[in-house]
Every structure is written in C-alpha cells, then in structure tokens.
Structure 1
Amino acid sequence: MKDRILAIDIFRGMTIVLMILVNTPGTWSNVYAPFLHAKWHGYTPTDLVFPFFLFIVGTSIVFAYQNKKTNAGTYKKIAIRSLKLIGLGLFLGAFMLSFPFIKDFSEIRFPGVLQRIGVVFFFASILFINLDWKKLIGVSAILLIGYWLLMTLVPVNGIESTLDRAPNNFANWLDVKVFGTHNYKPDYDPEGLLSTIPSIVSSLLGIFTGLILLSKQKKKATILFGLGGSLLLIGHLWDFVFPINKALWTSSFVLVTAGWANVVLALIYYLTDVKKIEFGSIFKYAGANAIVLYFLSSCISKVMGLIKVGETSLHGWLFQNIYVQEFISLETSSLLYGLSVVAFYCLLAYVLYKGNVFIKV
C-alpha cells in the first residue's frame, strides 16, 4: 500500500509477539504477575494485548478499504476473510493429537480469539465502508452505552444482574445458555457472545486512529497522544460504575485499552515516521504474517502439550530439563521458556519476510 505507515506494522508485530509470549509460559503455575490476566475486574499489561490487536485491525481497515466501493465484490471479500478467521479458530478449538484429530464434540470450544477477530473484522469493515466518521462515533457511543445498560439493568431469571462472576451475570448467563459446554470455562467465555458487541468498538476506535494517520493533519503524534489520554481518562472514570474487565469486555475496558493503544502507537509513530529512527524491524517482520504466526504457535503449543514423554509432555520435559535450574526462580525459568518460543517465531517471521512469503488469511 502506497500510504503504508511503518509504525502500524511495528505495532502489529509487537502485539502478536506479546500474544505468543503470554500464551506460552514454561508453566502456568509460576508466571510473573504482569504476564497473567486480571482475575476479574481490573487489568494487567497482558489484558492489553488482545484489544491492541483488534485496535490495529481497525487501523489497518482504513488503509485497506479507504477507496473500496460498497458493492457485492467488496462484501464478498470481507465475508470470505471473516469466515476464514472463524474457521481457523474453530479448528484450534477442536484440534487434538488423537484420532480423529478432534476433541469429543461436547468439549469443543466455539468462541475464541480468531473467531472474535473474524466477527469484529466483518462488522468493523462493513461499518467503515458505509458510514462517515461522525456516524461511526455515534455507532460506537450507542454500542458502549447500550452494553453498559444491558449489563446493569436487565435482570437474569428474575434476579438483579451483577458484574461479578456469577450465574446472574447477563453475559455469562447468555454464554452458558447459547454455547452450553462449548465455553472456555463452565460458567463463561472471555470471548463470549454478548461481549463481542463492545469488542467491535475496539476496532472502530482503531479506525479513527487510522483516519488521523491518513489525514493531512500536522503533529499526528501529538493528536494521538491527546486522544489516548482522553480515552484513558474517560475509561477510568467509567470504571467507577462499569468496572474495567477483560472477560466481560466492558465499555470502560474498551476505552482504557484503546487509550493505551493510541499512546503506544503515537510513541512508535513519532520515533519511526517522524524522527526516522530505525528500530523494531523484527516486529515489522512478525506483523507481516501476524495471523499465521499466532495460528502456528497455538497449534504447535497444543501438539507439544499432547505428545507424551515419560510421565509428562514434550513441553513439560523441555521445560524441566532445560529451563529449570537451581540458580534461577521458577518464574524466571517460565519466562525464559516463553522468550525462547518467541525467538523461534521471530526467526520464522524473518525467514518468511526475506523470502517474500506473505500468507494472507
């Protein structure tokens, strides 16, 4: 794309690298707190990773569809890409290393990360090519406020709704009602049905950032810093009545994570596209095949967890025999394992990029 901005590629790559890192520790029993999700309300650096990716999906939509017309061909391409992402996600949810290579049907998880990316991409793209920025702001406000009212005012089975992890939490109740045993947890799914609605706004907010970057505005980095700070302030104020929560993808969570995304992207943009400081090439390589790297890392991680080596798995054997050492803590060993996995996929990303291999989903 002639208008390609280096900061976007680096930001996307950094996000996918962090996704792989937090998903593949040496052991979940020993992980440093910043690399774990918040138990319920609140957020950690790890909770920023997935919304960052949805945000950059929105930013990328601006550059990919800025001149697209609203015709059947465009809608078809958007729908096909969305279905591919959903299909890959469902495959990951069903994949097991045993005949016939799928779990028992009752254990298959229907929601998931790639499924949510597919759904969000579909709706964000359709909205972008049909509405101007003013109407997109209106849609975003309606979705966020509507979700807030829905989650706090609608009773569940005649019981006042709650935002705690409980049967009368409307989003959790709906996931169990619709998906039954096909959730991540017995009582809820962090990529559930109702919480997908506000996650669309995570991408729409990325679209606004893309429009700023594409505009002829001067001092774009300053504008993005200001926008990010404003979203952070509003999100943290909203937190008092609608707590920041990734599992529920609350409206305050949407604003806070988009705020941080703008701040981080503004910093990268200032360094790379304004000051022309060269850094982050490895992230650019990873960003070029982001979905492929995520999909492969998820598949290979599952395989390594299923291959038996003695009384443990291949994953467990490698961790225990290579990374666990008396002179370092288990948390450090666990982190080193994750960094080794990241190094492998960064190397793969480099090889693909230099070989001009770009696998588009």
Structure 2
Amino acid sequence: MDEALLRVNNELDSDVLVTWRSERCYQCSYQQLGVIPARPSPGQSSSVDFTVSTQHAITLQLNSTPDTLELCKLQFHFGEHGNYSLWMKNLTNSSRCSIVTDADPVNSYIPILVAFAIYVGLALMFLIGRKILRLSAVRVSWNNLRIPGVLQRLSWSYLVVASLDLTVARGHLDVLTTDSWWSPGLDVLLYWPAWVCVLLLEALWLFLTFLLPVPGCPTGYLGPGGIGDMGRYSDCTGGAAAFIDRWLLGENHIYQTPSSRVIYATHVPYDPEGVLGSINSILMAFLGLQAGKIILHYRELPRSIMSRFLIWGLFLGAISALLTKCSTDEGFIPINKNLWSLSYVTTLACFAFVLLVLLYYTVDVKRWWSGAPFCYPGMNSILVYVGHEVFEEYFPFRWKMANSQSHTEHLTQNLVATSCWVLISYVLYKKKIFWKI
C-alpha cells in the first residue's frame, strides 16, 4: 500500500548512485536508494528495481561514482501500484534522465468518492423515508507504562479550566448589567483573573520552549530532529518539550514511536501528549469555554453571538498568520500538532470559531438542520471513545481482510465501524442514556 515499482536503467559507462528526498521533509538530506552498475557493453543497459513511496512527491538525484558528479535531478509524484522506468541515457557530451510510466497506477481516491456517493444516497433515502472482542491479552509492564495520553490530557485541561471558572464564575448571569460602556466585553472582563492565569501559563510555555537549555541541542529548537535540518540535530526531536518529558517522566514512560519517524527517520522517543504541550491544550479548552460564555451572556442576541464568534476567529487567525508568516515551515512558531505549538492552537481555534458561526446560524437561528447524526455521538463522546478502544478488534468493527494492502477494504472497514458507533449512539440517545465523567 502507498508504494510503486521503479526500475532504474543505466546506459552510462560508470556506476550511478541514486538518492531520494521526500518533498514533505523540510531541509532534509538525501537518502540512498541504491547503486546502478555501469552498462555491460555499448548498446546495452543495466537495471535495478526499487520500491518507492507514493504518499508524497519525491526528488531523485543521480550521481556518478566514485567522482560523485551530479548527473541529473528530477521531482516526481509516483502513483500507487504503478510501474515506472527511469532511464539514464548517454548523449554525446552529457547524460539525460527521463521517467516512463510502464503500468498506470490505481486511483486511490475512487473508494472515497464511491463511499461519499453511497452515504449521500443513504441520507436521501432516509429523508425520503421520513417524508412518506476479540481483545488480545497483554502483559502490562510498569517499567514501560506510558504515562501521558489523550484522555489524560483532556482530563488535565478540563481540571485546570474548570477550577479557574469555579473560582471566578458569577452565580446569576441575569442580574448583570448590559447597559454600561463595558458591556460589549462582558464575556471577557468579568473573568479577567482567569484570563490572567491563562496568559501567564502561555508565557511559561514560551519561556520554556525558547529559553530552556537542552543538552546537545540549540536553544528554542522546534524541529523534528532525525534527518531534518540536514541531519544536524538528529537527537533533538521535540526540543524542550521532549527534554522535559524525559526529565519528569523518564524515557521509558513516553510514546516510543512518534509519527516523525516516518518522514524524518527519527530514533528518539517523543510524546505528542507530553507535559509542555498540555499548557497549550489548556488554552484551547479555555477558548472553548469562552465560546460557551458568549452563548450564555448573549443568548437572546443571535447577532451578537455570531459577531463575537467571527471576531474571535479573525483575531486568532491574525495571530496565526503573524506567528507562521503565512508559511508552513518558515514562521516564528510553525503549526505543529505533535508539539501542540501556539500557532497550532490559534489556527485550530480560528477555524473552530468560524465553524461555530456557520453551525449556530444553520442549527439554532434558521433551524435548517438539527445537527443529526453528529449530535448523537457528540452527546456520548466518552462512551463512544472508550467503546471503540475496547471493542475495536471485535466484529463488526474489524474483520480479517482479504487484501490488507487495499485502500478500498480499509476504507470499508472504517466506515462500517463508524456507522455502527453512530447507530449505537443514536439508540442510546433515544433511550436517554448518557455516560459522563
């Protein structure tokens, strides 16, 4: 899956070294793919087959050996399960590279389009109709128990935000004035002590991220380590965030296989739900609480609610643009989900507020849509999450696939499992069963 066959043909009189680099790998060094021997005799060519990734476009660089003279460099996005030939041809005073498609790749987007069409058809049929474990036993070792996690981060964020709100919240919102000069900022000014605490926490994140010395790494490093940054900081994955996790929790108690291993070939553990990133998750939860404050304070004024949602979205979007310089990797603080960087939180919150405007107008103001079926799993989110974790190996949520390399079967399995949990959450909703923690 996500692979293609590449045959490299060499018609030159010298060996050729083939190296590659993913276009998604920022400032990475080239990795060796293989060496193609020189042609055996004039008019013939030597060839070697390689398996290449199709997830992202890659750049191939061909150098003669042993003098490492660059012969050519080309960028190409290979298609899944396609067969390709790369020819190194010998011209009079130069060489030429070209890629030929021997067998067309499959279109991996077709299953997604078909699934979308099926679900649209089912939705239409539903509207028309309304109108007329196998859980493997695992020995848990306390020596390698991962301490951080998704639910742990959620609980910590909710604990801090709830504690702040209980400290400064007003008991009766109805008695608060709406006629004073500061009433347009009522939802913020009434809770200024909580805002001060959150801003101080964010200042702590900035201080630790950019000023904490990390042994063997540049101060303020936000990169992926591994082969990123041309391999200069291979052991610096996560920067200060990873250093704090290793110091507080121990290397054996954090996530061992971060997603950065795929593209950046990192080899040190890094936990995306670590201690330092929890500060920004608190900020994210607090911005969600702010959305709730807006609805409570201005619940009789839909225009005020939507305008404030939009202002918050634009404000956070402007902060994101400033922090990232409107770029993927060149900003002051790039968007990084693994680090839960400040720009990631402001960008995520920006889109959340804008989406809230659309949903509030569609569902609450115009009542064009009830929110179904998404409201059912949303009202039992913890139960659905825990149920998925417990029963994910059981039928009908998973079965033994005939072809584990098929996108179609993977997509079918995931859609069936999702549909089952939506149906379960709908039944629980009808029976008024809601699991809260």
Residues 255-266 of structure 1: matches in 2 within 5 Å?
Answer: 255-266=346-357
Residues 212-361 of structure 1: matches in 2 within 5 Å?
Answer: 212-216=294-298, 217-219=301-303, 220-239=305-324, 240-301=331-392, 303-304=393-394, 315=398, 317=400, 319-320=401-402, 330-361=406-437
Residues 127-206 of structure 1: matches in 2 within 5 Å?
Answer: 127-131=164-168, 132-157=190-215, 159-161=217-219, 162-166=221-225, 167-168=235-236, 169-177=239-247, 178-185=249-256, 186-206=268-288
For 1:300 and 1:283, the matched residues in 2 are separated by 21
Residues 87-106 of structure 1: matches in 2 within 5 Å?
Answer: 97-98=136-137, 101-106=138-143
C-alpha spacing 1:280/1:233, structure 2 compared with 1 (3 Å): same
C-alpha spacing 1:332/1:115, structure 2 compared with 1 (3 Å): same
C-alpha spacing 1:235/1:133, structure 2 compared with 1 (3 Å): farther
Deviation at 1:97, TM superposition (A): 2.3
C-alpha spacing 1:30/1:129, structure 2 compared with 1 (3 Å): farther
Q: Which amino acid aligns with 2:244?
A: L
Higher relative contact order (CA 8 A, sep 6+): 1
Deviation at 1:30, TM superposition (A): 5.5
Say whether the 8 Å CA contact 1:242–1:252 is kept in structure 2. Answer: yes
User: Whose helix proportion is higher, 1 or 2?
Assistant: 1
Structure 1 runs of 4+ off > 6 angstroms?
none
Q: Give the total of aligned pairs.
A: 256
For 1:113 and 1:200, the matched residues in 2 are separated by 13
Rg larger in 1 or in 2? 2
User: Whose strand proportion is higher, 1 or 2?
Assistant: 2
C-alpha spacing 1:180/1:139, structure 2 compared with 1 (3 Å): same
For 2:141 and 2:291, the matched residues in 1 are separated by 43
For 1:360 and 1:201, the matched residues in 2 are separated by 23
Q: Which amino acid aligns with 1:137?
A: W
1:157-205 deviation digits (Å, cap 9, x = unpaired):
2743211134441101122232321222252101011111111010011
Superposition TM-score, scaled by structure 1 size: 0.64
For 1:214 and 1:347, the matched residues in 2 are separated by 31
Among candidates 149, 155, 158, match of residue 112 of structure 1: 149
For 1:111 and 1:338, the matched residues in 2 are separated by 26
Superposition TM-score, scaled by structure 2 size: 0.54
C-alpha spacing 1:152/1:206, structure 2 compared with 1 (3 Å): same
For 1:102 and 1:128, the matched residues in 2 are separated by 41
For 1:128 and 1:226, the matched residues in 2 are separated by 22
Say whether the 8 Å CA contact 1:288–1:358 is kept in structure 2. Answer: yes
Say whether the 8 Å CA contact 1:232–1:256 is kept in structure 2. Answer: yes
State the identity as a percent: 29
For 2:386 and 2:199, the matched residues in 1 are separated by 33
Aligned-partner SS, 2:353 = helix
Q: What is the RMSD of the two structures over their aligned residues, measured on CA atoms?
A: 2.8
Say whether the 8 Å CA contact 2:398–2:413 is kept in structure 1. Answer: no
Q: Which runs of 5+ in 2 are unaligned?
A: 4-23, 27-134, 169-189, 226-234, 257-267, 325-330
